[in-house]
């Protein structure tokens, strides 16, 4: 754990690498796109910075044809956060940050509520995590064991279910036909791939497609890639909340499979 954190901190120590992560926070970018953003840095230097970030797990890459896309992977940052910040401290930190933002920006229109509808757009969230367990064990942990490790931020542990078949439900089962429906299974390839399509109980009018790939790194190590794409009414808060949520889920699945 400490060795992993050392790599993350060293990667974040460079201002150019931090600036690259700032750019990736708004969405995936090609290496060429990033090189154009930093004209004072050579393309080779940008590639070197990306290599360091990828080595620290902070950037995940994906090839599409001749293009190499770079995505922010928040899992290592979440591990740093979880090590030193408790849920209680997190609540107060959130309150104080919100207060600071409100004071800094000023208060307008007291006594009235202004609502701004999100513009229609597409966003993509990519979370990647390596788990020290076989691909079969990790897949079973995701599908069959989900009710044992899925925990909400409030500490609740409702019975989660994934019906292992195409057309199956991914849902929170409250009994008596009550609960929350996240999505429907559209791809079911045991030990390899899951895909869900649905609204994931979000109040915004967006269609979500979530693909989870289980890649064998070695006999006892699996790389889990969560690719969440949303289209429709997608706000900045929407994307940020799902990125945080999938990061936490990847961490809980890792802890369950490695115990």
What is the CATH T-level fold of the domain 2-76, as seen in this structure? Arc Repressor Mutant, subunit A (1.10.10)
Q: How far apart are the first and last CA of the chain?
A: 15
**What is the full per-residue pLDDT of the chain (259 aa) written as tens digits?**
566 788 999 999 999 999 999 999 888 889 889 989 888 888 899 999 999 999 999 999 888 888 889 999 888 888 877 777 655 455 555 555 655 665 566 554 444 444 444 456 778 889 999 999 999 999 999 999 998 998 765 566 668 999 999 999 999 888 888 888 999 999 999 999 999 999 888 777 788 999 999 999 999 999 999 999 988 877 767 777 888 889 999 999 999 999 8
Name the token pair of 30. 């090609």
Q: Can you tell me the distance from the alpha carbon of 143 to that of 29, in angstroms, rounded to the nearest whole number?
A: 32
For residue 246, the 8-state DSSP code is H
Tokens 């289980």 belong to residue: 214
What is the CATH T-level fold of the domain 121-258, as seen in this structure? Alpha-D-Glucose-1,6-Bisphosphate; Chain A, domain 4 (3.30.530)
Parse the chain into domains and list their residue ranges.
2-76, 121-258
Do the first three CATH levels of 2-76 and 121-258 match, i.e. the same topology?
Answer: no
Of the candidates 74, 68, 64, the residue with the CA atom closest to the CA atom of residue 50 = 68
Give the pTM: 0.59
């Amino acid at each position: 754990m400490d060795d992993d954190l050392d790599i993350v901190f060293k990667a974040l120590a460079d201002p150019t690498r931090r600036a690259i992560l700032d750019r990736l926070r708004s969405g995936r970018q090609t290496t060429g796109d990033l090189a154009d953003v930093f004209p004072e840095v050579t393309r080779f230097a940008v590639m070197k910075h990306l290599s360091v970030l990828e080595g620290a797990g902070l950037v995940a890459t994906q090839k599409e044809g001749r293009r190499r896309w770079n995505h922010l992977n928040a899992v290592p940052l979440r591990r740093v956060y979880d090590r030193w910040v408790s849920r209680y401290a997190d609540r107060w930190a959130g309150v104080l940050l919100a207060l600071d933002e409100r004071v800094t920006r000023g208060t307008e229109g007291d006594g009235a509520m202004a609502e701004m509808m999100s513009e229609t757009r597409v966003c993509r969230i990519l979370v990647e995590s390596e788990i020290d367990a076989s691909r079969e064990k990790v897949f079973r942990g995701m599908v069959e064991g989900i009710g044992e490790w899925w925990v909400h931020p409030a500490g609740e542990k409702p019975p989660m279910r994934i019906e292992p078949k195409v057309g199956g439900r991914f849902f929170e089962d409250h009994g008596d036909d009550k609960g929350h429906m996240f999505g429907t299974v559209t791809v079911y390839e045991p030990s390899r791939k899951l895909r869900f399509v649905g609204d994931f109980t979000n109040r915004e009018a967006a269609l979500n497609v979530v693909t989870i790939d289980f890649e064998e790194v070695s006999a006892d190590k699996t790389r889990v890639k969560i690719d969440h794409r949303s289209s429709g009414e997608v706000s900045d808060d929407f994307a940020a909340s799902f990125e945080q949520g999938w990061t936490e889920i990847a961490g809980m699945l890792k802890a369950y499979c490695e115990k």
